[in-house]
Structure 1
Amino acid sequence: LFYALLLEFLPMKKSLIYLITLSLLFAACGKEQLSIGKGKAEDEIKKCNKLLDEKEYEDAVQCLEMFKSRYAHSSLAQDAELEIGDAYFDKKEYLLSAESYAAFIKLYPRHPKIDYAYYRTGTAYLRASPKAIDRDQEYLGSAIEYLNVVVYHFSRSPYVSLASKELYEALSRVARRDYYIGKFYYRTGEYLACIDRFKDISENYKPSGLADKSLYFITSAYLELGKLDDAKEAYSKMSVDYPESKWTKKAASKLKKYVRHIDNQK
């Protein structure tokens, strides 16, 4: 009824402005105003944690930022920095999350939760990378860098197992991307370029499940280039590392055909 009276007695444009203003005022009145800094740090941080638990991530970040500035000398301010990263992570704003965790690592390199910060930074960068291998993967390198720190420098951390799984996924994506590019080069006759890609996979990403396939394409590419000795060397590595692989058997068959073809031409 109140809105109806406004529309009746006010011009249309002014009525719309009044309605929007009133709506915003009512919304603001209905929302509890955030107040941080009047009590003990231990009590005030609970307000921010409550917002996190309620998944009010924007308010939680605002609360944590206010807490940091007003309790800068409290050890809880360091935890607040970490929790800001958690809020962005849970909100799926992974780049902001990664940046927050990375800032924490620079500020507090000796913090008891530094292993967690490295783990979450790497995971956030991995989540920020698209799963489609034909899309830009610029954050995978950062994901691998941070996750490696957990796996190789914090061997007793409770996050080692989780970090190892994320690291495997990150390395597998790099391998799949390089394999995709290598196959493209192979199909288009760019054999030297494809050999470089496949070598990288076979030497640095063995757990990806693509190393034996990569060695097969290296062998085949060398044969296409007429480099029999190099092809034999690649096959020799295959036969030692992957004796039961179907790709090793395919490479052996291809080598035999090539040698027979050369012998027939003599």
Structure 2
Amino acid sequence: MPNPMKKPVFLLMLIACVLFAACTYRDPDIDKPAHELAKNGMDEFAEKDYNKSIVYFEKLRDWYPFSKFAKLAELKIADAYYRLKEYDDAIFAYEKFEELHPNNEAIPYVIQQIGNCHFKQLGTIDRDQTPALKAIETYERLIKKYPDDPLSKEVLEKITICQKSLAENQFYIGRFYYRTKHYSSALARFQSVASTWKEFPEIQAKTIEFIKLCQAAMLEEAQE
């Protein structure tokens, strides 16, 4: 007959072994000075092994929070996430850096990168346009706060791309309403596009054409 006490004893021994192993583990990097961890992180970043670079920079940030390399670590963690296309994690890291170091000389770059993270998430015109809106908001914040910074000029083209995406999205919605014979809703959408996005003549031209089509369809419906 099996001894019912054997199982609990075995589990206790297993737990003890796990705890012992955890207590005896020693991180091989624990004795490295801050500058060496910084070098390791930068070397891995240069080799495009961004996950490894994050590991080194996180150790540097956590073990040497008052080191002159700590800010570098915080920024490069964000950059590594950006290179990995993990944009939500990158945004969090950049925003944390800005919160902790609002007067740091890298802040214009940080704000631009937050905008770039949103910009990189732009989808097709039939998708949610939140990334476009957030990118515009962030880029405009950069321009307002640092109007003379060269980075403020760099984002102008991206703002235009985002605005065009918004305009095309609204036109797409209007066309959907038109095709489903919701002419009143379509007309309202097209009129909004025509009045809001005058800087895009190609969109203006097709929008005005659809405004005429909507008006004609609504007139025809009224006469029936």
The normalised TM-score by structure 2 is: 0.75
In the alignment, the residues of structure 1 paired with residue 168 and residue 132 of structure 2 have an alpha-carbon distance, to the nearest angstrom, of 12
How far off its partner does 1:212 sit? 3.5
2:171 corresponds to 1:179:
yes
- The answer (yes or no) to whether the contact 1:37–1:44 under 8 Å persists in 2 is no
Residues 33-54 of structure 1, C-alpha deviation per residue, up to 9 Å, x if partnerless? 8626632x44532221111101
Distance 1:34 1:63, change over 3 A: farther
- The answer (yes or no) to whether the contact 1:36–1:63 under 8 Å persists in 2 is no
Residues 216-243 of structure 1, C-alpha deviation per residue, up to 9 Å, x if partnerless? 43344344434xxxxxxxxxxxxxxxxx
Q: Which of 115, 139, 142 lines up with 1:122 in the alignment?
A: 115
Q: Secondary structure at the match of 2:150?
A: coil
Higher gyration radius (CA)? 1
Q: How many residues align?
A: 194
**Percentage identity across aligned positions?**
28
Distance 1:119 1:199, change over 3 A: farther
Residue aligning to 2:65 = 72
Distance 1:65 1:116, change over 3 A: same
Higher relative contact order (CA 8 A, sep 6+): 2
- The answer (yes or no) to whether the contact 2:37–2:56 under 8 Å persists in 1 is no
Q: Which of 32, 35, 51 lines up with 2:29 in the alignment?
A: 35
Letter matched to residue 32 of structure 2? K
Residue aligning to 2:93 = 100
What 5-or-longer segments of structure 1 have no aligned partner?
Answer: 1-32, 227-257, 259-264
Q: Which of 136, 140, 157 lines up with 1:148 in the alignment?
A: 140
2:47 corresponds to 1:60:
no
Residue aligning to 1:240 = none
The normalised TM-score by structure 1 is: 0.64
In the alignment, the residues of structure 2 paired with residue 195 and residue 99 of structure 1 have an alpha-carbon distance, to the nearest angstrom, of 40
Residues 118-159 of structure 1, C-alpha deviation per residue, up to 9 Å, x if partnerless? 1111111121232x2223333222222111212333221121
Larger deviation: 209-218 or 119-128?
209-218
In the alignment, the residues of structure 2 paired with residue 162 and residue 34 of structure 1 have an alpha-carbon distance, to the nearest angstrom, of 43
Residue aligning to 2:210 = 217
- The answer (yes or no) to whether the contact 1:202–1:211 under 8 Å persists in 2 is yes
Q: Secondary structure at the match of 1:129?
A: coil
Q: Over the residues paired in the alignment, what is the CA RMSD in angstroms? A: 2.6
Q: Which of 161, 169, 180 lines up with 1:188 in the alignment?
A: 180
2:150 corresponds to 1:170:
no
- The answer (yes or no) to whether the contact 2:37–2:59 under 8 Å persists in 1 is no
Letter matched to residue 93 of structure 1? E
